[in-house]
Structure 1
């Protein structure tokens, strides 16, 4: 079964010749393949906490588990409301690149709704425990994240439909997740943490923009005004390429301002991958997927996601090396 789980984690899919086990079913339902972004955000918050010498493991673990549960709930909420509003159909992109929880028969609508309620209830217990430990700011972080998660697709706001979904993701995976983890772990929140959360927030935003570029034509036909729909494909591809470059500019700014140590420049090892991704974004999507490509008709989001994981891992490595073998700034 662990081979099933690894395949789902890597590709968002399970091969037809593999037997479906209960864990695999729910890994597909919650879309665990995109959890690395949340894990990286939580890890950044934790490592930043270590830099101030106030790392407390139990609050950190509670925060990290809470964020993973929140991400799982977010994915299920998106699928539930997009199905209820008639957006998700067998012909829509969501049901083509990976199994839709209900349309593929993995679960029923009722089971999906109950799972959403259970996961959010567990998250609420974690939030209350951390609030008892750290005070009301924990609730502020949790409620802000829940607001964006629910109204990303739910009426009356439907942030995705009015070009604000990408901004919401930037705020959640950056300041809210990284800043919230730092606060839960340390009980404090200095201003420099907000700045340190911005580079990775940019990377996560590129993943969603890439996905919305891939769905642009279908979204436009449905009246969904995502940022790529508003900008047009060529401009949206240029924007995403610019945000990937902006990640490195933000890292250089953090080091130049002496907010982060020089080891953060390790992220520059990801520039060769960046060049490959930028070349891909400069070209139209191919007419057919390469052999063995697992998530067609998605294309641009895959390149953004692989870049996210590479750059995010190097960002974490730089933070870790700043702690283990710090390099003093020249005076």
Structure 2
């Protein structure tokens, strides 16, 4: 193996590790390559949540009147950039407000972009501006193609993303961050992408947008449950802080169960094709993580656990990843059957 081949494999391994764990490979951050550095800074490991939401919309749109692949692809890029910008801006606002510190979970489960020295404050601001400018350009193109509703979807998503952590609203601090995520990753992303693809909406699409949004909220509920001991002294009243640990864990389980119930209802009412019921194959994963939500977290992380002190968030993400993938697979099968039937 040549030195060039070895270097390439090392880079690919570094990128894969960062995408899988949200962390850089072990070693000094000063030695990280630029791609790994920005994968970590942007929290690109969680972008698949947005990709799945977009794919739900795309697979529902296939075969519908007015479907245009150009605007669908552009919308998928747009929501992914919006998520990326949201991650960058959240770190900016939380750092400036003093919420993020060296002993707060954001700097413990992964290197904090600024506090760890991965990037400078100026670089983070510049990256946020560039991503938002690129998203604005996409918004202009899609608005010309599909009309003013695109602006409504985009502005609503941007406003809720900024208000999540930015003063003076700071929805996260007021127990409204979780409903915010449900609206953004459910109706706004799915319905907005669907509208860009076909130029119209219907109630079945709205119903079909909700189940995956619940899974995204379940991950956030797990994360906020992990962070509750840190958030409560700071006056950050997330839903888990308001509910308490036991009720918050039970509520998270309820969200995961509700996902299956809503998918079943969507299939029954014709909002999703019957192959969407493939999500039922993820129930064994839910059964596996269920007992962990019924008891307190361990005192120490398991060996090799990469995102400690996040515990329930990681468990919820394992379920969401599998259930989301099966939902996409089921909708893809449904789209194929629908296309063949026509």
Bin for the TM-score computed over the shorter chain: over 0.9
Q: Hey, what does 2:22 align to over in structure 1?
A: 12
Question: Gaps spanning 5+ residues in structure 1: where?
Answer: 327-331
Any runs of at least 4 consecutive aligned residues in structure 1 with deviations exceeding 4 A, and if so which?
A: none
Q: Which whole-Å CA distance do the structure 1 matches of 2:315 and 2:65 have between them?
A: 36
State whether structure 2 residue 103 is matched by structure 1 residue 96.
no
Q: Which residue of 2 aligns with 1:329?
A: none
TM-score using structure 1 length: 0.96
Question: What is the RMSD computed on CA atoms of the aligned residues?
Answer: 1.3
How far residue 53 of structure 1 moved from its aligned partner, in angstroms, is 4.8
Count of aligned pairs = 327
Question: 1 CA distance for matches of 2:166 and 2:95?
Answer: 11
Whether contact under 8 Å (1:209, 1:301) holds in the other structure is yes
Does 2:311 align with 1:299? yes
For 2:99, the equivalent position in structure 1 comes to: 87
Partner-residue secondary structure (3-state), 1:139: helix
Distance in 1 between residues matched to 2:32 and 2:206, nearest whole Å: 42
Counterpart for residue 266 of structure 2: 254
In the TM superposition, residue 204 of structure 1 has moved relative to its aligned partner by 0.4
* Aligned-partner SS, 2:71: helix
Whole-angstrom distance in 1 between the partners of 2:144 and 2:224 = 39
CA distance in 1, matches of 2:22, 2:77: 21
The C-alpha deviation readout for 1:118-154, integer Å capped at 9, x for no partner, is: 1111100000110000000111111001001111111
8 Å Cα contact 1:46-1:55 kept in structure 2: no
Contact 2:172 2:237 in 1 (8 A): yes
Q: 2:287 is matched with which residue: 241, 250, 275?
A: 275
Rounded Cα–Cα distance in structure 2 between residues aligned with 1:53 and 1:132? 19
Partner residue in 2 for 1:227: 239
Cα deviation, 1:20-39, whole Å, max 9, x if unaligned, reads 11111111111001011000
Q: In the TM superposition, what whole-angstrom CA distance separates every residue of 1:194-248 from its partner, at most 9, and x where no partner exists?
A: 0000100100000111100000011001000000000001000000000100000
**Map of 1:157 onto structure 2:** 169
CA distance in 1, matches of 2:82, 2:154: 9
> Which of the numbers 11, 14, 25 marks the counterpart of 2:37?
25
Following superposition, the deviation at residue 51 of structure 1 comes to: 4.5
Identify the residue that residue 167 of structure 1 maps to in structure 2. Answer: 179
Instruction: Using structure 2 for the length normalisation, give the TM-score.
Output: 0.93
CA distance in 1, matches of 2:63, 2:239: 36
Task: State which of 198, 201, 211 in structure 2 corresponds to 1:186.
Answer: 198
2: CA distance, partners of 1:13 / 1:37: 18
DSSP-derived class of the 1:152 partner: helix
Shift of 1:323: 2.1
Matches within 5 A, 1:191-210: 191-210=203-222
1:143 equivalenced with 2:150 (yes/no): no
* Unaligned residue ranges in structure 2 (runs of 5+): 1-10
Distance in 2, Cα, partners of 1:258 & 1:116: 40
Q: Counterpart in 2 of 1:217?
A: 229
* Structure 1 residue 314: Cα displacement: 0.5
| Structure 2 Cα separation of the partners of residues 252 and 146 of structure 1 | 31
